Amino acid sequence: MPSIFLNLPIMREKPSILILNTGGTIGMVLDEKTGALKPVNFDDLFDLIPTLRLFNFNIDHFCFDPLIDSSNMNPTTWASIAKVIEEKYELYDGFVILHGSDTMAFTASALSFMLQNLNKPVILTGSQLPLGMIRTDGRENLLTAVEIAAAKEDDTPVVPEVCICFENQLFRGNRTHKFNAQNFEAFRSSNYPELATAGVSVEYNRAAIHKPNFKKLKLYTKFDTNVAILRLYPGISEKVIQAHLEIPGLKALILETYGSGNAPDETWFINLIKRSIEKGLIIFNVTQCQVGKVEMGKYATSVHLKAAGVVSGHDITTEAAITKLMFLLGNYENRQEILNLLDVSIVGEMTVNS
């Protein structure tokens, strides 16, 4: 993907941060002449947020060209972002990704699977209002993201994982979902605690943060998009479910169930699920609820799913579930190995109780 990269001399005694601008509201400013939004460039960034200079960090800027509306994000773009991080990994202490909020949780989840053995912060942030607007939330979001990306103790990054920083809160990226399109507090992590809260100072929840393993970064860029999501609802018909299960080339299906993993126990539904799994389809049970987890067998209406071979998604988000399936299908050929990895936490994306 074409890009614009500004190389500045790096002084190793200062923290060095690379800001990747993929697009989104935070990466735009209002053109006074045309009244239209335009991409922010590196010089504009420091003019709009002069406080960045007070950090006394070495900050570089990578701008994707063209910039991408987050609604157009896809695995190819995720690979482009991950490759930039891999290429520049040894040159920087941390990375901040400017990204549209609509699909930020998907990208954060995908990057967590792609960047295995990550030992440096990769912080995604954005805003609900463009940087050029007086009331923008982008300034605080970006400043906080940069500060966290540079934070070290004993020369070790404090937060060596993929995160989302939004409205003074830092979340594990693959535990996050967007829940509000109107207010500045756009994201929540309903089933996992905040990694940090930014108030007068940044308070880190160290018990919840990944510990570095100091292994070499390993990049995965293959994703298989032959997956689908089926959300159950009262009155869903046999033909609707059958249409999903018989999508040509479909390899895996996320079944968004009720409550703790419940689904209809009508004979036609059970038979459809069972036959599809017998034919090789992987079905991943994810709850529609934002808080809580799948517990197949807790109620009678989920016993048949477990018996048919449906895999529990535990407390995983739909965003993490879809990217995890794409990642596993793209990098593993053995079906049983994929099923085994679905049922465990690979990069902290879900809590599995023994």
Q: Using the CB atoms, write b or e for 265-303: b if 16+ within 10 Å.
A: eeeebbebbbebbeeebbbbbbbebeeebbbbeeeebbe
Beta pairing class for 115-116 and 58-64 = unpaired
Nearest to residue 243, comparing CAs of 256, 234, 253, 235?
253
Cα separation, 130 vs 179, whole angstroms: 19
User: Of these residues, 25, 103, 136, 323, which one is catalytic?
Assistant: 25
Task: Give catalytic status of residue 176 as yes or no.
Answer: no
| Residues 162-165: contacts with CB under 8 Å, at least 24 apart | 162/108, 162/111, 162/112, 162/115, 162/118, 162/122, 162/124, 163/108, 163/121, 163/122, 163/123, 163/124, 163/195, 164/104, 164/105, 164/108, 164/123, 164/124, 164/125, 165/123, 165/124, 165/125, 165/141
Q: Do the beta carbons of residue 121 and residue 148 sit within 8 Å?
A: yes
Q: Enter the DSSP assignment of 249.
A: T
Active site residues: 25
